[in-house]
Amino acid sequence: MENFKIYPGVEIGKNARIGDFVVIGVPAKKTQHKGIHTLIGANAVLRSHTVIYAGNKIGNNFQTGHAVTIREDNQIGNDVSIGTHSVVEHHVKIENKVRIHSQAFVPEFTILEEKCWLGPKATLTNALHPFCPKAKECLKGPRIKRGAKIGANVTILPDLTVGENSLVGAGSVVINDVPANTVVAGNPARLVKKIKDLKCRYDLIEKPYF
C-alpha cells in the first residue's frame, strides 16, 4: 500500500523514490485545483513527510531530506538538494546544482543561482518593514549569486546580493551587498579577506575554492 498522496495535475519522471507520507501537488487554495501542472523530473528522491505544493517545476535528480516544505510556483533546476526541515516559500528561483542544508528558510522572490550553497539554519528574509501596511507589495528576497557559500546560522536581509563565489561566515548577519570573490563575517558582516587568500588549515589542498 502506498503511504503518500499525489494530487491531480502532477507529473513525475522515471525512477522516482517517494517516501512515506509525502504529499505532492497540494493546491495553495481549496479552489485552486484544476489546470495547475506540477512537474518533477527523473530520478527524484523525496524523503518522508516532504510536502510539495502545486505549480512547481522541478528538474532531474532532485532530492529532499525529511519533512521539507516547498510552496507553490517555484522554478527549480537539475541536481538540487534541499535538506531536512527546510522551507522554500513560493515564487522562488533555484538554479542547477544548488545545495540547501537542513533547517534553512528561503522566502518568496529569492533567487539562488547555480552551484550556490546554503548552510544549516541559514535564514533569508524578504520584508523590509514587516508591519508596514504595504509590506506585501515590496517583498523581495536576496539574490545569492553563482557559487556563493552561506555558512550555518547566517541571516541575510531582504533585497541584497551576495556576490559570485563569495563566502559568508557562520553566524553572520548580512545587511549590505557582498562583493564577488570575498569573505565576510560578523554582525553586521564585514569584509575579512578575498577568496583567493583562503588557505587550507590542514594542508590538504593549495586553494580551497580555486
pTM here? Answer: 0.96
Identify whether the C-beta of residue 172 lies closer than 8 Å to the C-beta of residue 141.
no
- Predicted pLDDT of residue 210: 75
Residue 140 clears pLDDT 80, i.e. is over it: yes
Mean pLDDT throughout 91-115?
A: 98
Span 164-189, average pLDDT: 98
In order of start, what are the domains of the chain with their CATH numbers? 1-89 (2.160.10.10), 92-210 (2.160.10.10)
pLDDT digits (tens, 9 = 90+) for 197-207: 999 999 999 88
Q: Which residue has the higher pLDDT, 2 or 121?
A: 121
- What does pLDDT average to over the chain? 95
Section 170-189 average pLDDT: 98
Do you find a cis peptide bond into 188, omega within 30 degrees of 0?
A: yes
Q: What is the mean pLDDT of residues 185-189?
A: 98
Whether the pLDDT of residue 1 is over 70: the answer is: no
Catalytic residues: 129
pLDDT of 57 > 60? The answer is yes
Q: Read off the pLDDT of each residue in 111-128 and give the average, rounded to a whole number.
A: 98
pLDDT, residue 209, reads 84
With b meaning 16 or more CB within 10 Å and e meaning fewer, what string describes 105-143? Answer: bbbbbbbbbbbbbbbbbbbbbbbeeeeeeeeeeebbbbb
C-alpha–C-alpha distance, residues 123 and 191, integer Å: 20
CA distances in angstroms from 10 to 23, 47, 65, 202, listed in the order given = 11, 17, 20, 48
